[in-house]
Amino acid sequence: MNPIKHYHFPLSGHSHRVQLMLSLLGLPVEEIFVDLAKGAHKQADFLALNAFGQVPVIDDDGVVLADSNAILVYLALKYGEGRWLPSDPIGAARVQRWLSAAAGPIHAGPATARLITVFGAPYNAEDVIARSHNVLKVIDQELSSRAYLAGDTVTIADIAGYSYIAHAPEGNVSLEDYANVRAWLARIEALPGFVGMPRTIAGLQKQA
């Protein structure tokens, strides 16, 4: 098969979700760097791929898709051989719950906390860090009774949640109190084909 083109920015957790999924599936990939710092995502050629002007985008032999969670669904259904996204109503709904969480409270918490320290985004750090701990407490409690977010097997729910939670310390959000979350991160990192996102020395990470 032809390589899947992945338009990405290395420090974007949204991009990393897709990069990680592509690697876990063992698919051939052509990584195409989109220089967000220089506004490449707002240029006409990129806006033709994604009118929202955001990474990631994939081009799978002419099938062009944007939105990291939508891309995860596509890759799971096309290449996942039934492993990454359950087909039964309950299993599918459990995964969707966590895709929504990744786009909602995880984005509003750990992802935004990291935007403040890594990219200088003008948010209230105290509020965002508090939101981060609120969602981490929920996730840690839910992981007390199962190995992965949506059940006892890994799904795209975990891939959607991993990147920004793993990098929460960069946003001054400590994971020290969340043993179940840390064990879950380790299980993801032990998967064959795992690739990490580059770590910055922002926030608590500079002390690690």
Q: What is the pTM of this model?
A: 0.93
* pLDDT for residue 32: 94
168-198: per-residue pLDDT in tens? 999 999 999 999 999 999 999 999 999 999 8
Percent of the chain with pLDDT over 90: 79
CATH architecture of 89-207: Up-down Bundle (1.20)
Q: Does domain 4-79 have CATH number 3.40.30.10?
A: yes
Percent of the chain with pLDDT over 70: 97
**Cα→Cα distances 7→3, 12, 23, 60, 107, Å:** 12, 11, 15, 11, 20
* pLDDT for residue 68: 97
Report residue 207's pLDDT band, with 50, 70 and 90 as the boundaries. Answer: low
Report residue 35's pLDDT band, with 50, 70 and 90 as the boundaries. Answer: confident
* pLDDT for residue 204: 67
**Residue ranges of domains in the chain:** 4-79, 89-207
Tell me whether the omega of the peptide bond preceding residue 56 falls within 30 degrees of 0, making it cis: yes
* pLDDT for residue 120: 84
Report residue 199's pLDDT band, with 50, 70 and 90 as the boundaries. Answer: confident
Tokens 């922002």 locate to: 202
Query: Reduced to 3 states, what is the DSSP secondary structure of residue 71?
Result: helix
* pLDDT for residue 41: 85
Query: Rounded distance, CA 152 to CA 91, Å?
Result: 11
Report residue 38's pLDDT band, with 50, 70 and 90 as the boundaries. Answer: confident
* pLDDT for residue 94: 98
Kindly write down the DSSP assignment for every residue of 86-146, as one continuous string: --SHHHHHHHHHHHHHHHTHHIIIIIHHHHHHHH-----HHHHHHHHHHHHHHHHHHTTS-
Report residue 205's pLDDT band, with 50, 70 and 90 as the boundaries. Answer: low
Query: Rounded distance, CA 67 to CA 65, Å?
Result: 7
Indicate whether 149 pLDDT > 80: yes
80-114: per-residue pLDDT in tens? 999 999 999 999 999 999 999 999 999 999 999 99
* pLDDT for residue 50: 87
